[in-house]
Amino acid sequence: MFENKRLENILDEFKNKTNSHSFIFYTNNFEKCREDVVTLIKGIFNTQNLDLIKMDFITIEKNNESKISKERIESLKTFFKTKSYLNKNRVYLIEEAHKLTSISANIILKFLEEPLEGVIAFFITTNLDSVLSTIKSRSQIINLYYDDTSIINSEYIDFMEKFLNDYTQKDLFKVKKIFQNYDRNEIITIFETYLEYLYRNILENDVIIIKKLNYAISLLNKNVNVDYVIDYILLGSE
């Protein structure tokens, strides 16, 4: 059903009733991510027809406005007050969660701090840094990276495997010299490619490096010094 194994795992968690009550899907491709999230929601409700679950599923949809206003979020209050039509989970999806204003985000935060039984929050964002930190801390963050091609650059994978597994603190100068062969955008591409590889083949011991690489990419996008980013990946603690 999904290329990304993490989505299959989430669906299994719902079947086993071990799921989280809030998920943030962080992506580089909104449309593809939305398609996968909607497919996931259909799987949770075991239906291909969204009209059949319209009493239990609500979306704050993407639009051309720069912010998601308090008024749009207020519509959720009515949704929460009613009982499940199917006596199952109730799901709300907020597209472009980074557009929540501080007021609208705080309304959502109240629901996350005291989650109602069976109510699940799904958020999609292409700008994780702009999502309220208190919402992030109460949610599972799922990175859904989509490449333009189905072929993962094996050269980048081999490079990252060597970087992460063969180099130690004593090799820092050597590592930094190697990274000087790439510009900032190329390094970001290398990290993102390796992230996609990890998400397609995710193992339990990959969780820490996934977190580090996500943070490293955000630092590079903010023009943080590359040497500092390399130090963080090899020496930084979680």
Q: Which tens digit of pLDDT belongs to each residue from 15-52?
A: 898 998 999 998 888 999 999 999 999 999 999 998 88
* 149 domain-assigned: no
- Count the domains in the chain: 2
- Model confidence over 160-213: pLDDT tens digits? 888 887 766 557 777 788 888 888 888 888 888 888 777 766 555 567 888 888
Domain end, chosen from 144, 163, 194, is at 144
Instruction: Extract the tokens encoding 226.
Output: 């590359």
Residue at a domain's end among 144, 168, 202: 144
Instruction: Assess whether 124 and 10 both reside in one domain.
Output: yes
Q: Do 85 and 40 fall into the same domain?
A: yes
Amino acid at 33: C
The encoded tokens of residue 47 equal 């239906």
> Is the residue at 36 inside a domain?
yes
Contact 232, 170 (CB under 8 A): no
Q: Which residues of 62-74 are buried (b: 16+ CB within 10 A; e: fewer)?
A: eeeeeebeeebbe
Is the confidence at residue 128, as pLDDT, over 80?
Answer: yes
DSSP letter (8 states) at residue 68: B
Q: What is the DSSP string of 202-220?
A: --GGGHHHHHHHHHHHHHH
Choose the weakest-confidence range: 9-18, 83-92, 195-204. 195-204
Q: Looking at the structure, tell me whether residues 214 and 116 fall in a common domain.
A: no
134 part of a folded domain: yes
Judge if 126 and 163 occupy the same domain.
Answer: no
pTM of the predicted model, to two decimals? Answer: 0.63
Residues 158 and 184 in one domain: yes
Residue finishing a domain among 144, 172, 207: 144
Residue 111 falls within a domain, yes or no?
A: yes
CATH number of the domain within which 77 lies: 3.40.50.300
Cβ proximity of 162 and 211 under 8 Å: no
Residues 139 and 222 in one domain: no
In DSSP notation, 104-155 reads HHHHHHHHHHSPPTTEEEEEEES-GGGS-HHHHHTSEEEEE---SSS---HH
Q: Residue range 107-118: average pLDDT?
A: 82
Host domain of residue 172: 154-235
